Amino acid sequence: MQPVRIFVIDDHPLVRSGLRQLIEGEAGLSVCCEAARMRGAMELFTECMPDLAIIDLSLPDGNGLELVKRLQARYSDIPVLVSSMHDENLFAERALQAGARGYINKQEAGEQVIEAIRQILNGEVYVSQRMKAHLSLRETGDTHKALRSPIELLSNRELQIFEFIGQGMGTGKIAGKLHLSVKTVETHRANIKKKLGLESSIELTRSAVQWSLEAH
């Protein structure tokens, strides 16, 4: 019986090495391919045609959610597990909406990673027990209890820009990185300030830097 083939996409060599060692230590699982960036990942995906992909949320040349969407648009039958250091309250639901079949925090123990892989291969969705309760509140319409942070109000694009602001990027650099006009980025910044109740660009930057430090 052929082992399950897993494609690992993460920009940290140590993380990829750790996942490979963990996965290949399990019977019936193997890592068939690795990538560090979005660029080239699609081509490698076509070459190795895995049974499951593990994708880091933050990649040096793009957002992992965008890669999930691209892969699901072309290979909807191949499940994806998103792995990240980010708060699952902010990103787990976004990952599932993008087409992922699970979300796991990188701080979870190795056995949880294997459990997530097994559950997804069995056709189930994997999130933590805490996140299941969080999503349940959303499904029942109790959004007041489910909403834990104003940052959850941000759209995926706004959250991406907020993260870049926290990394010290200016409007022009963000515009170039996302292939947007400066005016569009400025509009997003204004929307972020409004949603977070921030009065000035200084407050926006301070809030973004603080969130970025806490998220990592």
Supply 182's token pair: 């400066």
Residue that is written with structure tokens 């930057």 in the block? 205
Task: Name the fold adopted by 4-138.
Answer: Rossmann fold (3.40.50)
Class of domain 150-215: mainly alpha
Binned at pLDDT 50, 70 and 90, residue 119 comes out as very high
Structure pTM? Answer: 0.79
Region of residue 141 (left: phi > 0; alpha: psi -120 to 50; beta: else): left
- Give me the residue label for tokens 């399990």: 26
> What are 159-185's pLDDT values in tens digits?
889 989 988 999 999 998 888 999 999
Residue spans of the domains in the chain: they are 4-138, 150-215
* CA 83/CA 105 separation, integer angstroms: 6
Checking if the pLDDT of 43 tops 70, the result is yes
